[in-house]
Structure 1
Amino acid sequence: MKKSNYITRAGWDRLDKELKYLWRVERPQVTRTVSEAAAQGDRSENAEYQYGKKRLREIDRRVRFLMKRTEDLNIVYPDPQQEGRVFFGAWVTLINEEDIEVVYRLVGPDEWDVKRGEISIDSPMARALLGKTVDDEVVVKTPEGERIFDIIAIRYKAIAK
């Protein structure tokens, strides 16, 4: 399945920060470490050299991915006309069958983080929520079976902590 090319401003900023850190800070540090380890002689038994080369490959792979991916992404800003309906970037408060309240934010596939309550716009839950309004019932197919949620609130601005 193809990933959506949408991202929130905060998500794009996190990816950009990671890219800059890898390229400007971590890669030069690792390159220096590898050079110093290489100067010590036999590279075949030099763990610091071997690990450094491996880490450089990982950094380069991630940098290439981030550079290509950030070129393809579209930053989406919530539109005031979206108020009252669930679209990209919305925080949605739901109640499940056990009367447990959960809050999810619909974000791009490159930025979701369950710990922050963010789910990918491409996920089954997000797909079921799109276009819905407060008091709508949502049925989501999960590996454990169908789950039912009621939408109790939709907002597009973060709550100050």
Structure 2
Amino acid sequence: MKKGFSLIELVIVIGLLLIISAVSFVAIRSLLNSFQQISINTIEQTFNDAARNARYNYNNSDWGVYLTVDGTNNLESITLFSGTNYASRDTAYDQKINFDKQLIPVTIDLTDIYPYTGDGYEVIFEQTSGESHQIGTIELYINEETYNITINEIGVPTN
């Protein structure tokens, strides 16, 4: 009896490995697309929460969103906060969400946001009216796709 693999056995094993690889690739791509959509929804929802909290006068205060980025404009975290600006906020109301740039890198462009207060990385919504003086578009770049969140004069974030 000869020891070793026949050609048919080798072809079957290679075929099975190719099928498993293809299914795995599709599953991983689908998972990454889900993470990408979750990132976009989280960012947009944080802006909506800030505008809503300001309009409903929650905590009797302005509300804002602070975007922490690294030196290459990769989003590290986003913080929903209560206060007239990030520096003087009431930290008891902070809601911080961290982003893993190794998993889903989110690059942002804030050049279109008019910096009314702060350093251009915060967007403030005024108490009761919900209006924002930082109007413009925040561009998000995720996996070579561009998503926009626009803050209009009446403080309504849209994409």
| Category of TM-score, reference length = shorter chain | under 0.3
Max Rg structure: 2
Bigger strand share: 2
- Normalization by structure 1: what TM-score? 0.26
Bigger helix share: 1
